[in-house]
Amino acid sequence: MKIIMLGAPGAGKGTQAKMIAEKCGIPHISTGDIFRANIKQGTELGRKAKTYMDQGLLVPDELVCDLVVDRIKQDDCERGYILDGFPRTIPQAHALEDALSAIGQKIDYAIDIDVPDENIIDRMAGRRSCPKCGATYHIKYNPTKAEGICDVCGGEVVLREDDKPETVKNRLSVYHEQTQPLIDFYSERNALAEINGVQPMEKVFEDIVNLIGA
């Protein structure tokens, strides 16, 4: 089962990816995790990626794809995997398709967690995080026991800069411009599945499980 998770920032695709990976017994692969692992291990690909990141530059699509393909060739991906955060653009999707074809693979499902922009802005504006320990909350869906105080370490929880409505609107604008065309890309390949992401998290998960027959 080879799955790509699609959806705007804040749509909940990362949470669903982790739950599906656990249910199916396959790895949840995020590009951020791959970068960190390769840099930490000092691999050749990791060193190449670090030279771009240290200069504040985007890692080229070909190198990102090489890192992803290197990861999915590992033994724990034999039964499948879930890609979260890649591909983000059409050139990346083409690069991934060509790389997978070269090793006799293709994506089974590109699952789009569909949530309207206004819902995402509302969701993210309610998120709070603890700078000290990294715990995350939501003022409506997962509030702290004591207002403004982290349940884990007692630190003050804050609204992160990238969760502020004006920042979220900018992130959504980039998403619609760069990433949303992937929906058409995978639809043309009969691999797209759209899931209503406005439902409760458990119902979204149930719909995905029914879709993939897990």
Full set of structural domains in the chain with CATH = 2-116+179-209 (3.40.50.300)
This prediction's pTM:
0.82
Cα–Cα distances in Å, from 146 out to 39, 153, 157, 185?
Answer: 39, 12, 10, 46
- By C-alpha distance, which of 210, 208, 212 is closest to 12? 208
What is the distance, to the nearest Å, from the Cα of residue 77 to the centroid of all Cα atoms in its chain?
18
pLDDT of 96-108, one tens digit each?
999 999 999 999 9
Task: Give the type of residue at 20.
Answer: I
- 127 classed as catalytic: yes
More confident residue, 57 or 186: 186
Q: 15 — alpha (psi -120 to 50), left (phi > 0) or beta?
A: alpha
The answer to whether residue 57 scores a pLDDT higher than 90 is no
Is 47 annotated as catalytic?
A: no
Please indicate whether residue 203 is annotated as part of the active site: no
Give the active site residue among 18, 48, 50, 171: 171
Q: Among residues 99, 94, 69, which one has the least CA distance to residue 83?
A: 69
Check whether 61 has a pLDDT greater than 90. Answer: no
- pLDDT (0 to 100) of residue 161: 87
Catalytic residue (one of 18, 48, 50, 160):
160
Q: Is 36 among the catalytic positions?
A: no
Region 14-42 average pLDDT = 91
Catalytic residue among 18, 48, 88, 164: 88
Residue pair 5/16 in contact by the 8 Å Cβ criterion: yes
Please say if 79 is a catalytic residue: no
The pLDDT of residue 214 is above 80: no
